[in-house]
Homo-oligomer: A and B are copies of this chain.
Amino acid sequence: MKDKILISEVGPRDGLQNCKGVMPTDVKKRWVKGLYDAGVREIEVGSFVPPKLFPQLADTAEIVAFAKTLPGLTVLALIPNFRGAQAALDAGVDAVTLPLSASETHSLKNMRQTHDQVIENVKSIRTLFDASSNPPRFEAGVSTAFGCSIEGHVPEAKVISLGERLVEAGVDELGLSDTVGYANPLQIKSMIKSMRDAVGQEKVKSVHLHNTYGLGIANAFSAYEEGIEVFDSSQGGLGGCPASPGASGNIVTEDLVYMFEAMGVDTGIDLDHLMACRKYLEEGLPGEPVYGFTPNAGLPKTYSVS
């Protein structure tokens, strides 16, 4: 198994998007810088969506510009459509991620797009990026890949078929997203294996997990065993879904780093330094609940900095 993995911090996008408060731009920059100083080398810094819908992410272009000054950091942004892709290209991101919800009901509700429409968007965006001298890496995240709070069960075959269509339409990589936290560790292994068999091992590098049922870290371990090397997570488990009572946010970056480092798997992240960055959440989002077993318990005696 791999002795090094990459943690892709999604708090500034997935986390903030689901918070009631709006983090001030200057705090957001200090948070991004703090994460970088702690050793985080990929951050999803925002989303190119209409500011009217997501005022929390209205400063994404400015955050991208700031994050691009940090050497060696992969600056990622979410894009919902062609217009977002254009804005991301103009802002100079290193990578974009476009979500396609395997549950078409969810896709219509969340993005107002059918599967066919999303695939057409991907083709147009591929053309746009191919015409650029410096195209970003183009990822698609297959969301609700392990179940949907509206449709319920999502068949694996449907997810695989959508993955194939996305790759054919021109994305560089696929991520598998457990948007509502329904996945279990055996399902994770099965889906990764099937998707890799379908589109090629090198195309399936990342998982995006939520912790609604407390299985998020177990799912991450299972994905690691299956060869996944990029893990999305959010500092303090920020996020959650306002539409799903009891649903929790992304898996907690602090706990994820703890697990990998305790196992001797290098994340490149200094956990003490990372935990200190929780102060930016308190400053920029006063009253917002933050989570994490490791920050609550404090590092154990057996933990040694790698």
Contacts and interface: CB of A to CB of B under 8 A. Distances in A.
Residue among A148, A187, A218, A246 facing the most chain B CB atoms (10 A cut-off): A218
Contact of A213 (B151, B218, B297): B297
Residue among A181, A186, A297 facing the most chain B CB atoms (10 A cut-off): A297
A302 B148 CA distance: 8
Interface string A148-173: 11011100000000000000000000
A300 B149 contact: yes
A5 interface: no
A184 B148 CA distance: 30
A185 B293 CA distance: 16
B213 A153 contact: no
A276 interface: no
Nearest to A214: B293
B300 A213 contact: yes
Nearest to A297: B246
B264 A186 contact: yes
Nearest to A294: B213
A4 to B, nearest CB: 15
Contacts of A152: 300-302
Interface in A97-111: none
A290 interface: no
Interface in A52-76: none
